[in-house]
């Protein structure tokens, strides 16, 4: 083993040789293993001997056996070796040359990460220069071959984000592609996935972006037209996804798209594109796009009733001389009342919708029947329904 091997190099050796073992340890076991690594570094223990000693630890045997090992196979009186005092650690097994052992670990590093075998020459040169294992791995991660296969960490560093293990990057790539295929049938390129990782987008954030895009396609040109109106410029077809799935925070775009959904989605219910002021009211009340749409669906269910109210109001307005000065059927339009009552849940609007109807219809009755051909009064059943 080359001189200058540090204790963390021994930990790196174990993590590379036995993926998952170090992560399976409790905090106390990790501290004990670090203490053993310091002792190994003091003695400049060879790599193969260090691996063999770790393989004798009780925690390693437990990890290797897995949870399915029958209880009776574990000796009742056995005490895990990693719970013994450091001075009782089994003596090292000496071997003259361990460079081949390190070489195997480094070649395994190439295989695990899908790196080309042409890098073996780089490894041979580093071993000939007596470089420690951790230094060789660090230098491998700076080679053009590695940076081509894993550009994410260089991009993340430029954006101020922490380093991401290769296995985690590969798992992210697979899941990001699966989600894109499942939602939209998209085939993502490596550079597109790398951009997500570089921007530190979690997979849940990526799924939300895909859902946004799916919604955008579902609601069609009306939402897009309002979205562009809110932005103040037209979005080219090849840039729409970039606007809806930006890799950096875009509060202005998010607000514009939310307003587009609030205003344009009701159009498919026959309510037309809603006024900007109406959407702002919803936002101030903290009503989400989905809540708002459900409210508009409730309004549509009430529209036949509102139309009857409107007809009565029109009839009353044509006969205002029969009513006291200043009397009106509603302080707001029927739709405004419905909007406040159903969409915003405004108790005063609900009370107004119910109370004003009964009062004004009674006044209308007192003032005489409608002109011939008019709507006429609501039936008792309709009044109860209102």
In this prediction, residue 145 carries a pLDDT of 95
CA–CA distance, 24 with 179 (Å, rounded to integer):
29
Q: Which of 159, 184, 188, 183 is nearest to 173 (CA)?
A: 188
What is the reported pLDDT for 77?
54
Contact present, 58 and 23 (Cβ < 8 Å):
no
Helices (H), ranges, 44-94:
47-55, 58-65
Place of tokens 């002109």: 371
pLDDT of residue 197: 92
Ordered per-residue pLDDT tens for the chain, 386 residues: 344 567 878 888 888 788 888 888 888 888 888 888 888 888 888 887 888 888 888 888 888 777 654 445 444 555 454 554 443 344 444 443 467 888 888 998 999 899 999 999 999 999 988 888 889 999 999 999 999 999 999 999 999 999 999 989 999 999 999 998 888 787 888 888 898 899 888 898 888 878 777 777 776 788 888 888 888 888 776 666 666 655 555 677 788 888 988 998 888 888 888 888 888 888 888 888 888 888 888 877 776 666 655 655 565 556 555 544 433 444 344 566 666 666 666 677 767 666 665 665 565 555 544 333 333 344 445 444 44
- Other beta carbons within 10 angstroms of residue 215's beta carbon come to 16
Output Rg (C-alpha) for the chain, integer angstroms.
36
Tokens at 26, concatenated: 């409790």
Contact criterion met (CB below 8 Å) for 377 and 370 = yes
- 74 close to 64: Cβ distance less than 8 angstroms: no
Q: What is residue 223's predicted lDDT score, i.e. its pLDDT?
A: 82
pLDDT score recorded for residue 136: 92
Residue 28 zone, left/alpha/beta (φ > 0; ψ -120 to 50; rest) = alpha
Sign of the CA dihedral with 215 first, then 220, 224, and 225 last: negative
At 333 the pLDDT is: 41
**What pTM value is reported for the model?**
0.46
């Amino acid at each position: 083993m080359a001189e200058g091997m540090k204790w963390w190099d021994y930990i790196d050796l174990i993590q590379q040789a036995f993926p998952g073992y170090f992560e399976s340890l409790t905090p106390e076991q990790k501290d004990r293993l670090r203490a053993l690594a310091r002792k190994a570094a003091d003695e400049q223990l060879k790599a193969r001997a260090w691996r063999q000693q770790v393989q004798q630890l009780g925690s390693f045997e437990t990890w290797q056996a897995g949870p399915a090992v029958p209880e009776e196979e574990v000796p009742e009186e056995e005490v895990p070796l990693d719970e013994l005092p450091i001075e009782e650690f089994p003596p090292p097994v000496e071997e003259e040359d361990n460079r081949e052992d390190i070489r195997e670990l480094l070649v395994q590093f190439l295989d695990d990460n899908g790196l080309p075998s042409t890098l073996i020459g780089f490894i041979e040169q580093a071993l000939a220069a007596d470089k420690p294992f951790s230094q060789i791995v660090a230098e491998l991660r700076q080679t053009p071959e590695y940076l081509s296969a894993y550009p994410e960490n260089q991009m993340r560093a430029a954006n101020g984000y922490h380093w991401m293990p290769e296995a985690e990057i590969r798992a992210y790539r697979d899941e990001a592609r699966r989600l894109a295929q499942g939602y939209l049938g998209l085939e993502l390129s490596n550079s597109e996935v790398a951009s997500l990782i570089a921007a530190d987008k979690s997979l849940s954030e990526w799924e939300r972006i895909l859902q946004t895009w799916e919604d955008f396609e579902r609601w069609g040109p009306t939402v897009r037209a309002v979205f562009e109106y809110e932005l103040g410029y037209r979005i080219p077809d090849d840039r729409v996804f970039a606007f809806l799935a930006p890799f950096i925070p875009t509060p202005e775009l998010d607000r514009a798209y939310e307003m587009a959904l609030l205003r344009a989605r009701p159009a498919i219910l026959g309510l037309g594109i809603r006024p900007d002021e109406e959407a702002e009211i919803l936002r101030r009340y903290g009503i989400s796009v989905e809540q708002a749409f459900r409210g508009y669906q409730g309004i549509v269910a009430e529209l036949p009733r509102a139309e009857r109210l409107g007809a009565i109001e029109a009839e009353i307005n044509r006969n205002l001389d029969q009513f006291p000065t200043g009397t009106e059927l509603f302080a707001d339009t029927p739709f405004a009342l419905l909007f406040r009552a159903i969409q915003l849940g405004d108790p005063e609007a609900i009370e107004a919708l119910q109370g004003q109807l009964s009062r004004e219809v009674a006044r209308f009755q007192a003032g005489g029947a409608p002109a011939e051909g008019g709507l006429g009064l609501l039936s008792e059943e309709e009044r109860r329904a209102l």
